[in-house]
Structure 1
Amino acid sequence: MGKQWKLLLCLLILATSLLSGCWDNRELEERNAVLGIALDLVEIDGEEQYKMTVQIPIPIKIAGSSGEGGGGNENAVKIVSGIGRTVMEASRSLQLRLNQQLFVGHTRILAVSEKLARRGLSDIMDSFRRDPMIRRLMWTVVVKGRAATLLEIRPQLSQIPVIFQMEQIENGIRMGTIPDQSLGEYFNDSASKVAQPFLNYVEASQNELKWRGVAVFREDRMVGTLTPVETWTLMRLRNKRRGGMEVVPIPGTENEFITFRPKFMETKITFQKNDNAPGDTNITATFHCEVKGDLLESTGQKGGLTHSREITELEGIIKQEMERRAHEVVGKVQKEFNSDVLRLGLKLRAQHYHDYWKHHDWNEDFKDFPIRIVYTIKLQRLGMAM
């Protein structure tokens, strides 16, 4: 029996020696957690290089982290920059200036300058795609001007600027006014041979961050922007999102408007074949958009809406204006940008692969593809009236 126990003990020792354990563990206090990354182009000795700027929180300075109550938001974060010919070289240059290892597992925002976006993002995105620590749910935005200004703002409502910006974006997504466009969404669209990517477009000032719409890409290069109102139209056509409030002028009047807030949205795409159409483009796409919402105000309406005829008339005015705006947006992304941010090609390839798709180059033919938009407006709540 003694020999058996000795043999069992030897086997246990051998088994435990094969366990790796936490040989490479590192305490949180030994890391610099990066909350935000900004990338700009700078010229060094006549050569364009990348400037990486990061925002690092200082735990002891954050209010509530110590018995003294912490400090103000100007002391709660540290902003550090590094320069290099590649993103990883800039990261290495930045690391050499810090006393602890950089940790990007908690990074929430990646900002790139408009100049860099118009040059192309394929080179910088390569390193982020390969790094397993980078979150695919990170918010990626294009900044008007320097990207580093996004990390330098000092909002009055939060000690940590990146947390304020993250909550601002997430609140807009919940309200349906800002597209849910993360780093993972950009990777998916940029890798697709059909769809084209877009990113949120922002402008940073000293104390606030303003959402300016979206930056539209063709492959990896930014080719233009859409305003917030145009972006809401794009969200309805592409993502079936309700977007923001629509202020519609009343025809035949001066300074009289209807304010309409979409609540429920449904979009369907159908294709119609016309064998008698000239040339080889015999298919037309139609976006059918059904929008149900509330009437928030009508500056030209005196008293309440008591007749169904008046409600139908208002629905017709809203329908006409939203269709006009939608055709303008589609014309812009087709003729000016030639970028299928509508993801129309995905539907077309799935439904008409043999009779259209394999005979055409969608990246070139998208700009001339016939598209119709038809809205159906339903007013659900008209508000209180005396």
Structure 2
Amino acid sequence: MSARSTSLLLLLLVSTLLSGCWDRTEINDMAFILTSAIDLEKDGKLRYTVMLPLPGQMGGATGGGGGGGSNGGKSYYIDSEVGETYRECHMKLQKRMSRRMFLAHRRTILVGEDLARRGIRELFDTVPRSPESRMTTFLVVTKGKAYDMMNSTPKFEHFPSEAIRELIKSKSVMDINFKDFGISLSLPGADPVAVYMDVKDSEQGVESSKEVELKGYAQFRHDKMVGTLENDTAMGLSIINGQKMISHSITLQMGDGQMSARIYEALTNINTKLINQKLEYDIALNIKATLMEDTSHYDLSQTKNILLVEDGISKKVKSAVQDVINQSLKNNVDSCEFGNFLWRAYPGEWKSQFEKNWPESLKDAKFNIQVQSQLTDTGLIFDNVTRERISQ
């Protein structure tokens, strides 16, 4: 009994040294920010907008999206404030919030185009300082005002923020978050890009809606937006930047009709060469694609026709990659990070010859683009099943 009493006494003494939940925060005291938007006002101040879910209107699913709640109300709340800095706006909003705004659940940060063109380097001081902010948050540049995108009404999701996040996560989009953007800013011979999005009115619907739409990528020179890459040019960027598993649809002009194919894999190899102090890049691309539609009536059971389609895919991809390079040279940016390849291959020459005048020096470089395409699947048929056959 004496030993048991002594042990019990020691446990009681040790328990007095344990700390309690003195800083506990109840979930009912928190407001979870789903996404935030930052815009530039005409007077140079910042407008900071947040989207917060309304717990009282987030009951069970009723069979539809679009933020439907009781009495037709939305299941989220949007508010904004104006100030000189991002944090000043945040604190102004907090003064009229009954719950503490919590940032750890935020997955997207929207930046209006006007602010992006002025420069967004200050965001890389504000966001990383808070332990609640995640550097894996996606950075999105919006055409026009960022808060307009928050007022979109996508039909498939309860929150616009979810529609934005799901589109960014698709295989047709490069995975670019805050960390990736910041790394590109700090790398020698590289200029960052960010996902570029817009709001588009739905067409031919019973009820109109404002849907979120992917436009492509915003090009930056250092931290300032200088241009955009859209359509096939955006596809060319994702291929040349080494996004292996992708999903891009392309249309080919074949004979008297068209073909639609889906590129699902791309392997990129870039070799940097200095020949007599002249810069050359050998870009080798290996593409795999599947056929989705054919109105040209090619007999794809014939190898020669398959080779023609593969050659058409190669030409399409080569043109898209060349367009990316041309657009980068036009905007005086290095969105493909060619300078980083040069720095890794020839660090001494980069420092002494190219660094000071980059990316202007890129205009004198030679680009050798080689594309090898493989049509791996034509679907369940070789030709349109209703087409008339001529007897042999």
TM-score (norm 1): 0.87
Within 1, Cα distance between the matches of 2:152 and 2:319?
A: 38
Deviation string, structure 1 residues 340-374 (Cα, Å, up to 9, x no partner): 22122222222222344543213442343322211
Within 1, Cα distance between the matches of 2:307 and 2:160?
A: 47
CA contact (8 A) 2:242 2:267 kept: no
Tell whether 2:342 aligns with 1:348.
yes
Alignment of 1:142-153 (within 5 A): 142-153=141-152
Answer with 320-329 or 118-127: which moved more: 320-329
Q: Select which of 243, 248, 252 maps to 1:248.
A: 252
CA contact (8 A) 2:163 2:212 kept: no
Q: 1:366 to 1:22 in 2, by over 3 A?
A: farther
Which residue matches 1:295?
Answer: 291
Alignment of 1:116-131 (within 5 A): 116-131=115-130
CA contact (8 A) 1:214 1:228 kept: no
Which residue matches 1:322?
Answer: 317
Tell whether 2:234 aligns with 1:231.
yes
Q: 1:53 to 1:356 in 2, by over 3 A?
A: closer
Q: 1:101 to 1:73 in 2, by over 3 A?
A: farther
Which residue matches 1:285?
Answer: 281
CA contact (8 A) 1:233 1:243 kept: no
Within 1, Cα distance between the matches of 2:69 and 2:116?
A: 38
Length, aligned pairs only: 366
CA contact (8 A) 1:74 1:159 kept: no
CA contact (8 A) 2:35 2:51 kept: yes
Within 2, Cα distance between the matches of 1:122 and 1:350?
A: 25
TM-score (norm 2): 0.85
Q: CA deviation at 1:322?
A: 2.2
Within 2, Cα distance between the matches of 1:152 and 1:106?
A: 20
Which residue matches 2:267?
Answer: 266
Tell whether 2:183 aligns with 1:183.
no
Which residue matches 1:196?
Answer: 191
Q: 1:95 to 1:283 in 2, by over 3 A?
A: same
Tell whether 2:143 aligns with 1:138.
no
Within 2, Cα distance between the matches of 1:6 and 1:74?
A: 63
CA contact (8 A) 2:286 2:373 kept: yes
Deviation string, structure 1 residues 221-260 (Cα, Å, up to 9, x no partner): 001000032111111100234341111223xx56x22222
**SS in structure 2 of the partner of residue 21 of structure 1:** coil
Amino acid at match of 1:323: K
CA contact (8 A) 1:235 1:243 kept: no
Within 2, Cα distance between the matches of 1:107 and 1:70?
A: 22
| Same amino acid, percent of matched pairs | 26
Alignment of 1:54-65 (within 5 A): 54-64=50-60
Deviation string, structure 1 residues 280-315 (Cα, Å, up to 9, x no partner): 3x231111001111122332235x223222222222
Superposed CA RMSD? 2.6
Within 2, Cα distance between the matches of 1:3 and 1:320?
A: 86
